Amino acid sequence: MKFLPTTLPEVVCIEPRLFADARGAFFESWEARKFAAAGIAVDFVQDNHSVSNRWVLRGLHYQQPAAQGKLVRVVAGEVFDVAVDIRRSSPSFGRWVGVTLSAANRRLLWVPPGFAHGFLALSDAAEVLYKCTEFYSPANEHVIAWNDPALGIEWPLPAGVAPALAARDADAPPLAAAVTFP
C-alpha cells in the first residue's frame, strides 16, 4: 500500500497494491499493521454502504461528540470525496481537500475525527463503502452547508447543474454557525 499525503496532513489518500492475473485481481483495502505503521492506528466499529445516482451530493456530515474517523472507498462508479477540517485549534481550520475515488482507481481516503465529510457522485451510479471508528449517533450528527462560500469547495458540477440534496443538507448552516471541535 502507498500512503499519499494530501494538502491536509491528517487526511491521507491510500493506494492499495493490486495483484492481477488472468483469473482477475486481488487487493487489501485494510490491514491494521500497515495502517498503524503509516500513523493510522484505529479500531473500526461499523461499516456503511451508500448508493447514489449521478450528481447526488451527500454532506458535509460529522458527529460531535462521538466523532467518527472514516476510511472511504468506492466499489462501483466514481465520486469526488471531500474532507473539511473543523477543529478550531487547527492551523488548517476551514480548509478542505478533495480526491476522486473510483472503482477503477481503487483509492481510499482516510478522513480522521474532527473533519466533516461529503461526496458528489460523478457516475450514473456510485457505491461508497466506509468504515467508521465510532457508532452512528443521530443525536450527535451535524451538517455544514456544502456550498458555504467561506469554504469555497470546488465541486466538479457542470455549469447549470444543481446537486440532488437531502433536506437536511439543503438546509445546513455555514461553518461559522455550525457546531465544531475545539
Query: What is the model's pLDDT at position 83?
Result: 98
* 130 in catalytic set: yes
Query: What is the model's pLDDT at position 36?
Result: 98
Q: Which residues contact 132 (CB under 8 A, 6 or more apart)?
A: 44, 45, 46, 47, 48, 68, 69, 70
Written as nine digits, the cell of 154 is 470546488
Query: What is the model's pLDDT at position 3?
Result: 98
Query: What is the model's pLDDT at position 125?
Result: 98
Predicted model pTM: 0.96
43-177 classified as CATH 3.30.70.360: no
Query: What is the model's pLDDT at position 62?
Result: 98
Query: What is the model's pLDDT at position 75?
Result: 98
Candidates 49, 62, 117, 130; catalytic one: 130
Q: Which residues of the chain have pLDDT under 50?
A: none
Query: What is the model's pLDDT at position 130?
Result: 97
From residue 96, alpha-carbon distances to 17, 68, 100, 146 in Å are 27, 17, 14, 11
Candidates 49, 61, 117, 142; catalytic one: 61
In terms of Cα–Cα distance, which of 170, 150, 153, 171 is closest to 162?
A: 170
Residue boundaries of the structural domains of the chain? 43-177
**Average pLDDT in the chain:** 97
Look at the chain and count its residues.
182
pLDDT digits (tens, 9 = 90+) for 14-59: 999 999 999 999 999 999 999 999 999 999 999 999 999 999 999 9
Return the SS3 of 177: helix
